[in-house]
Structure 1
Amino acid sequence: MSSAVLRTAAALTAALAATVALTSASAASADQRQERPAYASVTGSAEFTLPYIKDNDVRTFTFDAHAVPYSRPLPGAPTGLPTDARGTVKVSHYSAERHITYTSEGQVDCLVTGPHTATLTAVITKVSAGGPPDVGKRLGFSVYDGGKDTGKSRDRVGFSWNGVNLLPGSGKGEPEDAPVGTCMAPAPYAPVTKGGYTVHHADLLPPPPGK
């Protein structure tokens, strides 16, 4: 075989190898983009227990929260915030003592995530008869996504009432619940017993160009 033919074959082989490498790199980049969504979200429904209370009540949180950065203009922040979000939160609490289920619903206004974790807040818009007077109040929630369940969920949730967000007061009366700001919530301290949550983490984004 002539040297010219050998050089041509070598060049073709090198070109083919480069094409394969570029294709593989592009595929890997695409996979990474798919694995790292542009916007954060928290979805799912689960029952959980309180580690410091032993009762037969059934407590459930359902989340459908999605980040919508810079979508809620505020005084002093006309472009909104990187933590702006939309969606719904539903709370269900069956009282074994009273044999009744109380429910409430809220509109999500803030969401921030880290790997496997999220905090979100929602303003309550509806409460069932006999439920707590929470309409118009912002409540905080936290989620830990423990990954795919293997017989027992490793997920956890937390929330901003029931004694974890109090104003100590001045000794003249019982401590009061402290106001909850956007995206404020305690650590996810309550173990999930049924169901689960999915946290899609995404870093907070800078303001859009020109804003």
Structure 2
Amino acid sequence: MAGAEEEACAVTGPRTATLTAVVTKVSPGGPDELGKQVGFSVYDGGKDRGRSDDRVGFSWNGVNLLPGGDTEPAEAPVGTCMAPAPYAPVTKGGYTVRHAELPPMPKR
């Protein structure tokens, strides 16, 4: 099996996209996610009309936690092709998702 740093996945659906990858570089002052696999999702709400209807979801910053009873929640691992639903509104800019159908399965 390849090392975790090589595991990445990008998948699209109509108006949606999911990306998972291992963080290999963090800008100064950025989050401490270096070496961790993270997930990011996008919902393309259509043409922006003043305010975007796009939404994003991300696995860091408290949304991917395992409850631990009386202890602090532990961070859950993120698998390949796994990201939370796009829950947060995009407040500036926007995303365009171009969906691509999967190729047909090869015949045996």
TM interval, shorter chain, is 0.7 to 0.9
Q: Distance in 2 between matches of 1:201 and 1:140?
A: 18
Name which of 19, 27, 42 aligns with 1:128: 27
- The secondary structure found in structure 1 opposite 2:96 is strand
Q: TM-score, normalised by structure 1?
A: 0.45
Once the two structures are superposed, the pairs formed by residues 44-83 of structure 1 within 5 Å of their partners are 74=1
Larger helix proportion, structure 1 or 2? Answer: 1
Rg: which structure is higher? 1
Q: Distance in 2 between matches of 1:162 and 1:196?
A: 21
Aligned 8 A contact 2:7 2:80 in 1: no
Q: Distance in 2 between matches of 1:158 and 1:204?
A: 23
Q: Distance in 2 between matches of 1:112 and 1:131?
A: 26
Using the TM superposition, give the Cα deviation of residue 157 of structure 1 relative to its aligned residue in structure 2, in angstroms.
0.5
> 1:155 aligns to what?
54
> 1:137 aligns to what?
36
Larger strand proportion, structure 1 or 2? Answer: 1
- Judging changes above 3 Å, is the alpha-carbon distance between structure 1 residues 206 and 109 closer, same or farther for their aligned structure 2 residues? farther
Residue type at the aligned position of 1:201: H
Q: TM-score, normalised by structure 2?
A: 0.82
- Work out the number of aligned pairs and report it: 106
- The secondary structure found in structure 2 opposite 1:200 is coil
> 1:202 aligns to what?
100
- The secondary structure found in structure 2 opposite 1:174 is strand
- Judging changes above 3 Å, is the alpha-carbon distance between structure 1 residues 206 and 170 closer, same or farther for their aligned structure 2 residues? farther
What are structure 2's unaligned runs of at least 5 residues? none
- The secondary structure found in structure 2 opposite 1:122 is strand
RMSD of aligned residue pairs (Cα, Å): 2.5
What are structure 1's unaligned runs of at least 5 residues? 1-73, 76-106
